[in-house]
Amino acid sequence: MGILGVILKNPDDLYPLLKLKIAARNAEKQIPPEPHWGFCYSMLHKVSRSFGLVIQQLRPELRDAVCIFYLVLRALDTVEDDTSVETDVKVPILIAFHRHIYDHDWHFGCGTKEYKVLMDQFHHVSTAFLELGKNYQDAIEDITKRMGAGMAKFICKEVETIDDYDEYCHYVAGLVGLGLSKLFYASGTEDLVTDDLSNSMGLFLQKTNIIRDYLEDINEIPKSRMFWPRQIWSKYVSKLEDLKYEENSIKAVQCLNDMVTNALLHAEDCLKYMSALRDPSIFRFCAIPQIMAIGTLALCYNNIHVFRGVVKMRRGLTAKVIDRTKTMTDVYGAFFDFSSMLESKVDKNDPNATKTLSRLEAIQKTCRESGLLTKRKSYVLGNEGGYGPTMIFILVILFSIIFAYLSANHHNN
């Protein structure tokens, strides 16, 4: 379905989509003039447009530190992800990566497309890193060192048990949560949050991505990437790749639901972490991805399309999340709505139904006990009323004109 068809079906997506388009254009205009900073922010928009928008919530000094932190870890991840790089070459680079960020001359040819550009011109990232405050540099170096060592460990180790899965996710994402908490603390705007809560923020996002990206990872060339723990998938199939075959559809969905249920364990910690944040810009920066995560889990649950293609939130709903997430009222409302959506999809005959429902009830209980659910308007579970045919037609024409203008203006700049 094209974007106009989506708007016809969800007309109140229109205004948030327009705001998102304008925000993306404004973000591109704000790229710094210095070559190294210009490269970093341009690259940020290329490797993750959504993160490039979310990071705009932060104040300039902290935004620069988070931008460099993200690119350093994205470069580290590019080395880990490139299955064409031999293990005996890859492991020493991962272990020493925290030292390379201080070296203007270091680069390493790997990755594809924009990631190859990032690696080939990594000196720009190093130059920008060396302009950050010492407290920011120390936090980034520490997390990079620990993450590189963890990635190196799992290059030579399969994800067998759920403990292995949690450990791997800690290294590649939980440490990101710890690092961000350190950067927030270094900025002087937040208290230092406990490692357990910071870790859960990262694990919730990472497990969501691992679930959603099953097909992409299993079809990776020249070698599959397998992050689903054997302790879970071996209950359903003999080999992880068997989940993608149509004859295993029932078992595949049961395994998927098991994985989603495991990820839900971290949702309550995420709510605790976000409720403790004081700075509105940091709050929005943290809250938007977490809402996207639970929304993605709700879409993936009991959904065979995870094994057939790409499952993700529609752009209009993403735009709403970015536009309307401002307070914990919005977060509790979104978590409650998405957990309710997920609950409505639970098949009582699913092997993990009881466990899934228990974890959803715990999330909903936390949201209810906040006392804030009645103070928000739901934008997750559908629209009440909606626009008439004439108004929808006018809005679609208006959207098309503005979209065409913004696109033309973009090409002229």
Residues acting as catalytic residues: 168, 212, 225, 285
Report residue 9 as tokens. Answer: 């079906």
How many Å apart are CA 336 and CA 321, to the nearest integer?
Answer: 14
Instruction: Find where tokens 């709700």 sit.
Output: 298
For residue 88, the Cα-to-chain-centroid distance in whole angstroms is: 30
C-alpha dihedral sign at 76, 146, 208, 248: positive
How is residue 245 annotated by DSSP? S
**Sequence-ordered alpha helix ranges (H) in 301-388:** 315-324, 328-344, 353-369
Amino acid type, 99 = R
Question: Rg of the chain's alpha carbons, rounded to an integer?
Answer: 22
Q: Are 156 and 82 in contact (CB under 8 A)?
A: no
How is residue 172 annotated by DSSP? I
339-375 in b/e form (b: 16+ CB < 10 A) is bbbbbebbeeebbbeebbbebbeebbebbeebebbee
How many Å apart are CA 271 and CA 267, to the nearest integer?
Answer: 6
Amino acid type, 22 = I
Cα distances (Å, whole numbers) of residue 245 to 109, 307, 398:
35, 8, 44
